[in-house]
Structure 1
Amino acid sequence: MVIETMSYLGLLFYVFLTGLEMDLSAILRPGKRVMGIAMIGILIPFLIGIGLFFLLQHGSKVNITPKMGCVFWAASLTITGFPVLTRILADLKLLHSDIGRIAMSVAMLNDIYAWVLIAILIPAGINVKTVHVSLTGTVTFVIVCFFVVRPLLERIIRIESEKDNYDEYYLCFVVAGAMICGCITDVIGAHSIVGAFVFGLIIPNGDFGDVLLDRLDDFVSGMMLPFFFVSCGIKIDFKTIVAEEGTAWYLVALVVCLACMAKILSSLLVSVLFNMPLRDGATLGVLTNTKGILALVILNAGWNERILNDQQYTVMVVAMLVMTIAVAPIMSAIYKRRKGLKQYRLRTIQRPKADTELRVLACVHTTSNVSGILSLLEVSHATKLSPITIFALHLVELTGRASAMLIVHSRRKSAAQNPSRAQADSNLIINAFEAFEKDNHLVTVQPLTAMSLYGTMHEDICSLAQDKRVALILLPFHKHSTVDGRMEDENAAYRDINLNVLANAPCSVGIFIDRGLAAAVRPGGPSDNIVKFRFAMIFIGGPDDREALAYAWRMVGHPGISLSVVRFLPGEDAVNLELENDVESHGMSPAIANNERQTAIDDEDYINEFRLKSANHDSIMYLEKVVNNGEETVSAISAMNNCYDLYIVGKRTGMVSPLVSGLSDWSDCPELGVIGDVLVSSNFALQASVLVVQQYGSAAQDRGMSASSDGSRQERFGLRQRMMGVLRFSHSSKGMVLSDSDWPVGNA
C-alpha cells in the first residue's frame, strides 16, 4: 500500500509536468495528411486489440472477466508514448527527418486521444450507469479551470514576474493545487491524473513554468516516478499466463506478436492510401509502436477495477515492453543502412554550372548571431537562375525531459503571453528569418530548431545537412567581438561543435566571424543610394581557397559589392628554400606528387577562368602579392587594415606552403586555418568580418595527409614550392605583381 500510494503521487506530479510543458497551439493545428494517418493508426490497432482480447479469452479455460476489458486492451495498444518517442528520435538524429516529424505529429494527436479515453473509460469501468454524471462533472471542471482559474493564475504570475525571483509560497501553492485538482476529478469519478494534467495545462507558459520544471523535474522523474513502475511490476505474475488460466503458450506468443504488428500493419495501409513508400510506412509503424506511461495507466485502471485479470494485464504489459524495447535497435539498423545509401551531388559551391539552386544550412545559437548571418546571406546574391534556400537552424542545448517536449513546439510561433527564454529566442530568430524571406523574393526560408546535448549537436547539424541536401553549412564563431575590437569567448562548447562539424560535414562548411557586417552597409555616395560593401578574398592555393573564391565570385553579382581577389605567390627566397628542401629529401611517392601537381594545376585553371570571365567587371580587382615566408604574409595582411568589410579565406585543410610557414605554431584557433586565425587574432586591429570556408572532402584529405610521415610532409612542401614558383614566373605578366610600396591603402 505504501508503494501504491507513492506511485500514484509520483504519477500525479508527472502528468502535471506533462501538462505544464504541452503547447496546445501546436497540437491543435495538424495537417489533413497527419490527421488521416493518426486516425487510421488509431482505428485499426483498436480493432486488432479487441480481436486479440477475445482470442486470448477464448483460449482460456477460466473466463471471469467482463467484456469491457477489450476496450482497455485496445486503448492501451493504440497509444504512442510521445516523450519516449521523442527521446528515441533524438538519439537516432531523426527529429528533422520527414518520417520523424510525421511520427511526432501522430504521437501528439495520440496523446489527446489517450486523455479522452482516460476521461471516458475509467468512469465507464467503475459504473456504466453513472458515466454520464462523471463526464458532465469532468467537462464542467475543465471549463472552470480554463475560464476562471487560468485568468487568476495569469494575474498572479504577472505580478510576481516583476520581482527578481518567485516566492516559495507560490511554488508550494501550485504543487498543492495539482493535488487538489487530482482529488476533485477522483471524487467526480474520473482518474486523479486528469485533474493534475488539466491544472498543468492551464498554467501560462513562461519563466514561472521554467522555475517549476527546474525544481520538480529531477525529483519527480528520478525519485517518485520509479515507484509507479515498481507498482506495475508487482502486479505482473508470469505464472498466470499459462498455468492457472490454462492457455496454450503458443497462443500467448501469437497474441504478443500480433499486438506488436498492429501499428505496423496500420502504417502499411497508410502508405498505400497516402502514396508513401512501403519502407517509410513500415518505419512509421515501428516508431509509433513506442509505448509510454499513459498506456500503463489505462492497464492499471483496468486491473484495479478488476476489468482485466492477471493474465490479460501481464500479456499486454509484456507486449508493450517488447515493442518499445525493439524500436531503438530496429530503427538504428534501418537508419544506418539508409543513411549510407543516401548521396547527393551538389555538396560544394564550386560547380560546373552556375544555374543551380544554392541550399544553405544557417546555424545560430543565440539572437546575437542572427544579424551577421542574415547580412552574409543577403550578400550571397540570389538570382532567378540560382535561388537560395535557407534552412535556419536554432541550436538549443538539451536539458532534461522537458526540453524534449519543446522540439516540435518550438518550430511554431508560441501564443503564450509570457513565453520562456528558449521559446522567446526561437520566436525572435524565426521572425527575423521570415522577415528576411519577405524582403528577398528569390530566397526561401525554412526555420528549424535542434535540441540536443552539445557533445552530439554536430550529429544533428550533419544529418540535417544531408537530409536537406545543402551545399554549405554556416556556423557562428565561438568568440564575439568586444567594443575595443578584441575577441572574447562566448561559449567554449561552440568551438567543439564547429570542430566536429568540420570533421564530419557532408558538404562545405563556412565559419563566420561577425565584426559588424550589418553595420558596414552605407551609402555609396551623395547621390547614390546603393549600399557598398568592400570584400577581399585571399588566395594562396588549394581546394578550400577555390571554394572560398567561388563563394566570393557569387557575392560579387550583388550590385553593392566590390571584390578584391589577392593572390599570394612565392618569391625568389621561397623558391631557393624549396630547392634546399629538395636536396635534403630522399625521393617522393608518386601519389603525393600527383596530388600536389593536380592541386596546383586546378588552382591555376580556376584562377584563369575567374580572370577571364571577370575581365570586364568593374567591381572586381585582381591583385598578386609576392612574399617569401609566413612573416611577410602576415605583414601584407596587416597592411590591409580597415580596407575591407569582409575577408573571405579558405581554411587550407592539409595544405603546406612556404607562404604560411611557422604561422601554425602560434595559432589560437586551428579550425580557422592559419590565414583565418591571423585575421581574427587580437594582435591585429582589423575590424572587418571574416568568413573561413572549408570545401567538402578537405577534411578527409587532411586526415589522410596527417597520417603520413614527416618525410612525406617535406615532399609535399618541396613540390608545392616548385609548382608555385613555376606558375609565378609563367603567369606574372597576366596580373599585378605588387611591391610593398604599391600595396593599396584606403578604398581599393
Structure 2
Amino acid sequence: MNSNQTIFSSVAFLHEVPKMRRETYNVCVTQPLKIVSDGIWTSNEGSKPLESAFTMLELQIVIIFAITQLFHVILKRLGIPLFVSQVMTGFLLGPSIPIGPLERYKKMLFPFGTPDILSTVSSFGYSVLLFLNSVKMDLTLIKKTGHKGWIIAIATYFVPIIIGHLAILLFGTKWREMLGQDAIGLPVVFMSHSGCSFAVISSMLNDLGILNSEIGRLALSASFVNDLTGSIFAGLGTAIVSSMKMKTYSRIINVVIFPAYIILIPLIGRIALRWVVKNTPEGKAVHKIYLCVIMALFIVFGYVAMFIRQPFLAGAVIFGLAVPEGPPLGSELVHQLELFSTTFLSSIFVTCLTMKVDLTKCDSLPLIGVICGVIIVVHIVRWMLCIGICRYCKMPLNDGFCLALILSCKGVVDLVSYILVYDSTAQSKRVIDVMVVSVLILGTISTYGVKKLYDPSRKYAGYQKRNIMNLKHNNELRIVACIHKPCHMNHIKNVLELCYPAHENTLVVDIVHLTELVGRSNPIFIAHKLQQTIGSSFNNYSGELILTFDLFERDYPGLATANTYTAISPVALMNEDVTNLALDKNANLIILPFHVKWGGDGSIESEDINIKSLNSKVLERAPCSVGILVNRGPSNINSINYKVAMVFLGGPDDREALCLAKRFAKNFDNMLFVYRLLARDHDMSNWNHMIDDEELRGVCGAHATFENVTYEEISLEDASQTTFFIKDIANKFDFIICGRRNGVRSPQTFGLEKWTEHLELGIIGDLLASPDTETKTSILVVQQQSTSFIN
C-alpha cells in the first residue's frame, strides 16, 4: 500500500498504484472509531483524549499553526514569503527532517490514518482558495492585454516546451540509461516550469507593493495569459491521457466534453450571476441565500469535473471564472471566505502535502543533477526571451530582468500541483522531491531579487519643476484632486472654484476616486470620459462624482476642464495611482483630503488611518506640490465672496502657498489677508529672508498688484504668541492657507514641534486642525515640490 493511502481510502484504488510505490503496514485499529473524547474527568479507566479523532485533529491543527507562525516570525525578516514557512513546517513534521529522540512524538501526533482526516478538511479550504482566486480574476484582462503581454506570455510558455521536447528526442536514450524509470517524468518537469500561476504572481506583486506599477500591470497581464493557456492545455492533456484506455467513441466524447465544460459554465453561469448583481440594491450586501447557492454549486461543479476525468479543483476554478469579480458579489464572497480558506485551512493543506515529501530518500546525484539542469535551462530560456522582448519594446534592461524574475516565481499553487501529480501516480517520488525544493528556491530568489532590483519610486527622480511658483504667467494650472468619500466632493469643488478659472488663468483638474480593491486580483484604473462607449458597470462606483464635476465644467465653459477617474487598488498602493496620474498629467498640485472628519458641533466624527497613511506616502514621493485640505466647515458654502487668510513665516512651502493664494485673489470678489509672522530679531540679510521679500512684493507696499489684498507684518517673540495669534484668526475667515514647513525651525514656532500631532500638516496646520482650536474654517496646507527626490 502506498504511504499516501490508508485503510480509510478506497481499496479499489490499489490496482492503479505501481508496485514500486506500494508499502506494507501492520496496523491495529480500534472499532468503532471514537470521534469525540469522553473528556479528562469522565473516564474511569484514565483519560485517553488522543484516541478520539476530533481531539487529535484539533491538536494537529494547533501544532501546525504554531510551528508555521514561529518559522514565519523568523523568515519574514529576510523577506521570505509565508508559503516557505508552511513548507518548512511540513518538512519538520514529516520524514524530511529527522529530529532524533523527538521522532516518536511525531508518530504519536500523526498516527497511521489520521493525516487522511486532516488532509480532507484542509483540502476543502484549498479548493475554496482556488475558487476565490478565480473569482478575483478579470476575464476582460485578456482583451486589455497588449501585444507585449501576449508575446511574452506565449513565448515564455511554448518555446521552453518545444526546446524540452527536442532535447528529449536528441538525448532521451542517454537520460533513460542514466535515470531509469525516473526519466519518464522529465516532460512534466519542463512543462510545469514553463508556466506560471496568476494567483502566485498577483500575491507576490501585492506583497512587494508594486501591484499597480507599470511593471506590475505588465506582469499581471502576461501571467494571466500564461496561466490560462497552461491550464487549458493541461486540462486537454488530462482528458486525452485519462481516456487512452477507452473506446474510440468514448475517447472523443471525453475530449470534447472538457472544452464544452470550460466554455459553457463561465458563459451561462456569468449570465445567471449578473442577474444576482443586478437585483442587489446599490450599496447593499448580497443576500445570504445567493452565497449559499453559489457555494453549493461550487461543490456540484467540482464533482461534475470528476465525472469527465478532471480533478475537483478544475471544477472550482472554472466555476469561479463565472462569478462577476468586484463588488457586490465577488467582494462579498472574498470577504466571507478568504480568512477561513487562505489564512487557516489552505495553510494547513500545504503543510500536510509537504509532509509526504521525504528528502532523505532523494540520494541519486545523477537524478538531482539532471532535474536541476532541466529547471535551470528552462528558466534561463524564459529569462532570455522575456529580456529580449522587453529590450525590443524599448524597456530598460533592469525592468526586463525584474519582469523575468517575477514570471519565474513559484508558490503555493505550483507546490500543490506537484504533490497532486505525485498522488495521481503520474510522477516518481524522487523527481517530485526535487521539484518541491525548486519551488522554495525560485519563490525566494524571485521575491528577494525583485525587491532589491526594482525601485518603483525612481521614476520620480530627476523630474522638471512642477509647482505653482514656477508656473509661467497665464499658463493653465493643472491639479490632481483625490476623493475617497462623497463628503469630500463639495470641499474639493470649493477649492477649485477658489482657483478662479478665467481666460488668462485656465484650470485643468483630474479628479480621481480612490476605491479599495476587494474581490478581484488586478487593479483597475478607469478614465470615465473614455469609458462612455464601453458600457461598463464601473460607473456605479463614481456616478455622483462624474455628475458633480461635469456640472463644474459646464459652469466654466472653456475656462475649466474636469476629467474624472476611478482607481481600484489595494489601500497600501493607492499612492501609486495618485503620483502616477500627477506624473502623466504634468500636474502642478495634488490636493488630498485630510483623514479626520468633523461633525456639525466641531467634534471629531471619524478618523481614517488609511487616508492618513496615503497622505504621508504621497507627501514623500509626489512629483509636484501637494496640498492637504482640512475640512472643518460645512461643505455647502459657496466660494463667492470668500475671506481668505495666508499665514506666512517663510520658506519654500510658504512661498508656494502664497502663489496659490495670489491666484485666489485674482477673483476680486474674494478678500485675501496675508499675515507675515516675523521674529523680533530676524536677520534681514538672510538669503531665504530676501527670497521671501521678493515673493511678497506682489502683495505689499508700492508693488502690490491686487486691490483686494491686505498685507500685515506681525512681530512675535515666541511660540506662545504664535499660538495665540492662530487661535485669534481661526474664526475670522472662511479659508486659511499655509505652508507645511516640515523640518524647518524658526523662533516663532520653536518648541511647538514636540506637541505636533499631525506631522503631515506642519506646525501651523496642526494648530488650526487641533480640537483645542474652535473654528469652522477650511484649511489648506501646502508642501512645495521637493527639489531632490528622497527615497
Alignment of 1:106 onto 2:214:
no
Contact conserved, 2:657 with 2:739, CA < 8 A, in 1? yes
Pick one of 420, 445, 462 that aligns with 1:343: 462
Pick one of 323, 339, 344 that aligns with 1:218: 339
Higher deviation after alignment, 182-191 or 229-238: 229-238
For residue 274 of structure 1, what is the aligned residue in structure 2? Answer: 393
Contact conserved, 2:460 with 2:789, CA < 8 A, in 1? no
Assess, with a 3 A threshold, how the Cα gap between structure 1 residues 536 and 138 changes in structure 2: closer, same or farther. Answer: same
Alignment of 1:597 onto 2:686:
yes
Assess, with a 3 A threshold, how the Cα gap between structure 1 residues 234 and 50 changes in structure 2: closer, same or farther. Answer: farther
Pick one of 209, 217, 241 that aligns with 1:93: 209
Pick one of 156, 171, 181 that aligns with 2:301: 181
For residue 196 of structure 1, what is the aligned residue in structure 2? Answer: 316
Letter in 2 for 1:212: L
Contact conserved, 2:137 with 2:520, CA < 8 A, in 1? no
C-alpha displacement at 1:320, in angstroms?
3.6
Alignment of 1:550 onto 2:659:
yes
After superposition, where does 1:484-495 map in structure 2 within 5 Å? 484-492=601-609, 494-495=611-612
For residue 12 of structure 1, what is the aligned residue in structure 2? Answer: 127
Higher deviation after alignment, 423-432 or 110-119: 423-432
- Residue-by-residue CA offset, 1:341-368 (whole Å, 9 max, x unaligned): 9432426443285588866554443333
Output the CA distance in 1 between the equivalents of 2:636 and 2:698: 33
Alignment of 1:536 onto 2:652:
no
Assess, with a 3 A threshold, how the Cα gap between structure 1 residues 384 and 276 changes in structure 2: closer, same or farther. Answer: farther
Output the CA distance in 2 between the equivalents of 1:75 and 1:560: 72
C-alpha displacement at 1:225, in angstroms?
1.9
Contact conserved, 1:361 with 1:391, CA < 8 A, in 2? yes
- Residue-by-residue CA offset, 1:245-287 (whole Å, 9 max, x unaligned): x836544443232123232111122124323333322221111
Output the CA distance in 1 between the equivalents of 2:745 and 2:277: 62
Pick one of 712, 722, 727 that aligns with 1:624: 712
Structure with greater helix share of residues: 1
After superposition, where does 1:330-479 map in structure 2 within 5 Å? 330-336=449-455, 339=458, 342-346=461-465, 348-351=467-470, 353=472, 362-377=481-496, 379-380=498-499, 390=510, 392=512, 394=514, 396=516, 405-408=521-524, 425=541, 447-453=566-572, 472-479=589-596
After superposition, where does 1:503-518 map in structure 2 within 5 Å? 508-515=625-632
Alignment of 1:695 onto 2:784:
yes
Letter in 2 for 1:646: F
Letter in 2 for 1:120: L
For residue 25 of structure 1, what is the aligned residue in structure 2? Answer: 140
Assess, with a 3 A threshold, how the Cα gap between structure 1 residues 108 and 142 changes in structure 2: closer, same or farther. Answer: closer
- Residue-by-residue CA offset, 1:721-741 (whole Å, 9 max, x unaligned): xxxxxxxxxxxxxxxxxxxxx
Output the CA distance in 1 between the equivalents of 2:537 and 2:487: 21
Alignment of 1:564 onto 2:681:
no
C-alpha displacement at 1:548, in angstroms?
0.7
SS of residue matched to 1:405: coil
Output the CA distance in 1 between the equivalents of 2:347 and 2:771: 53
Contact conserved, 2:759 with 2:766, CA < 8 A, in 1? yes
- State the percentage of identical aligned residues: 25
Q: TM-score, normalised by structure 2?
A: 0.69
Give the count of matched residue pairs: 660
After superposition, where does 1:37-116 map in structure 2 within 5 Å? 37-51=152-166, 58-61=174-177, 62-64=179-181, 72-116=188-232
For residue 323 of structure 1, what is the aligned residue in structure 2? Answer: 442
Letter in 2 for 1:407: P
- Residue-by-residue CA offset, 1:284-336 (whole Å, 9 max, x unaligned): 11111123455456545654554444454444444343222211111122125
Contact conserved, 1:114 with 1:294, CA < 8 A, in 2? no
Assess, with a 3 A threshold, how the Cα gap between structure 1 residues 322 and 467 changes in structure 2: closer, same or farther. Answer: farther
Output the CA distance in 2 between the equivalents of 1:429 and 1:26: 25
- Residue-by-residue CA offset, 1:7-47 (whole Å, 9 max, x unaligned): 64333222221222223234443233333333333332333
| Structure 1 segments unaligned to the other structure (5+ residues) | 523-530, 580-592, 702-748
For residue 481 of structure 1, what is the aligned residue in structure 2? Answer: 598
SS of residue matched to 1:254: helix
Output the CA distance in 2 between the equivalents of 1:172 and 1:663: 57
Assess, with a 3 A threshold, how the Cα gap between structure 1 residues 107 and 563 changes in structure 2: closer, same or farther. Answer: farther
Higher deviation after alignment, 628-637 or 475-484: 628-637
Contact conserved, 2:190 with 2:378, CA < 8 A, in 1? no
Assess, with a 3 A threshold, how the Cα gap between structure 1 residues 366 and 684 changes in structure 2: closer, same or farther. Answer: same
Higher deviation after alignment, 596-605 or 623-632: 623-632
Assess, with a 3 A threshold, how the Cα gap between structure 1 residues 256 and 406 changes in structure 2: closer, same or farther. Answer: closer
SS of residue matched to 1:24: coil
For residue 74 of structure 2, what is the aligned residue in structure 1? Answer: none
Assess, with a 3 A threshold, how the Cα gap between structure 1 residues 119 and 515 changes in structure 2: closer, same or farther. Answer: same
Output the CA distance in 1 between the equivalents of 2:283 and 2:398: 54
SS of residue matched to 1:247: helix
For residue 717 of structure 1, what is the aligned residue in structure 2? Answer: none
SS of residue matched to 1:59: helix
Output the CA distance in 1 between the equivalents of 2:524 and 2:564: 18
Q: TM-score, normalised by structure 1?
A: 0.73
Letter in 2 for 1:11: Y
Output the CA distance in 1 between the equivalents of 2:205 and 2:748: 48
Assess, with a 3 A threshold, how the Cα gap between structure 1 residues 612 and 272 changes in structure 2: closer, same or farther. Answer: farther
Output the CA distance in 2 between the equivalents of 1:148 and 1:90: 32
For residue 583 of structure 1, what is the aligned residue in structure 2? Answer: none
C-alpha displacement at 1:377, in angstroms?
4.5
Letter in 2 for 1:552: A
After superposition, where does 1:127-138 map in structure 2 within 5 Å? 127-128=243-244, 130=250, 132-138=252-258
Output the CA distance in 1 between the equivalents of 2:319 and 2:498: 50
| Structure 2 segments unaligned to the other structure (5+ residues) | 6-115
Letter in 2 for 1:689: S
